[in-house]
Structure 1
Amino acid sequence: MKRLCTILGIARSSFYYWCRTAADRAARQAADARLATRIRTVHHESGGTYGVPRITAELRGDGERVNHKRIARVMRSIGLAGVRLRRRHRTTTADPAAVKAPDLIGRDFTESEPNTKYVGDITYLPLEGGKFLYLATVIDLASRRLAGWAIADHMRTDLVTDALAAERTRGSIAGAVMHLRRAARPASASR
């Protein structure tokens, strides 16, 4: 055994410890298998929504002494996970005192002549650390093509005016109507 341990690069005491604890490992694996059966049952009864905290609480409520870390390890090993709901981030707060701009296109999103009606939107792109970048886009309703876009770390008027770079790519947009969603401030505007 000494020669084999030397070839494999392990200590002889590690091999003997592994042999001595084989029965304990088998008992722990059997206990984990029984726990996995209980976890599957609780997870199935919840419709597949319960995660580690709720399954731990459910098993403790049934009188079983179990640690949440062990539940997490067993759930990972059998490929179960709870449903994670994404938190919704509020990025826009409307000013109640602001004057609402009229809807100049009358909810008619069709157009046959280019450079007369544009629609736009501002969306947020989440970054790590809870920060955002804002993306403003402008689409020509006649061609349904992207006329301009801008990205910034703020949601001020500059973002929308930078996205209105359609003048540079499409020629003059004098007299064109621009419609933005209400949350994107303002609702619609004429230029």
Structure 2
Amino acid sequence: MQAPVGRAGEERVGIVIPIPEPHAARLAGLRAAAGDPFAAVPPHLTLLTGLPATDWNQIVEHVAAVAAATEPTTLRFSGTATFRPLTPVVYCPVSVGERWCRTLHAALQAGPLAAPSAYPFVPHVTLGQGLDDATLDALEASQAAVEWELRADRVSLYGDLGDADWKLRATFPLGTL
């Protein structure tokens, strides 16, 4: 899901598992072909987003420690689902590794990033967002039988000043303890 828009000048945190090639190009191509207004955003699995950045030093230390203590894993994605009618999003859910994602999410959403979530955490990769229902329906149907996997071996930390211009702060390899 897209993070809530923050107030201008209020920096927010985003933490994701980046999607590697060849999947990144395929997913970006799907979004671009559908006319997705967020197609330029690199494909990713969001772990946390929209939380206020109160102390970047503490946040970096926290994310680095969680990443170091988390072993890499293989995630499998199967089929499609949607967040409609709540938000106009079609996504590919995690079918193998969901518990691992939830455990990583919970570990990250602690310490300097402890805050209530606006939505329940659903491990997924967005396929289309902010599109009309007919386009989302077509995208959902066209990807319903697609399965793919990736090796989740790093997390990336982003910052945003409330203008939806997320900047990469750092990438941390998993399982370095």
Q: In which range does the TM-score fall when normalised by the shorter chain?
A: under 0.3
Greater fraction of residues in strand: 2
Structure number, greater radius of gyration? 1
TM-score by length of 2: 0.20
Structure with bigger RCO (C-alpha 8 Å, 6+ apart): 2
Structure holding more helix per residue:
1
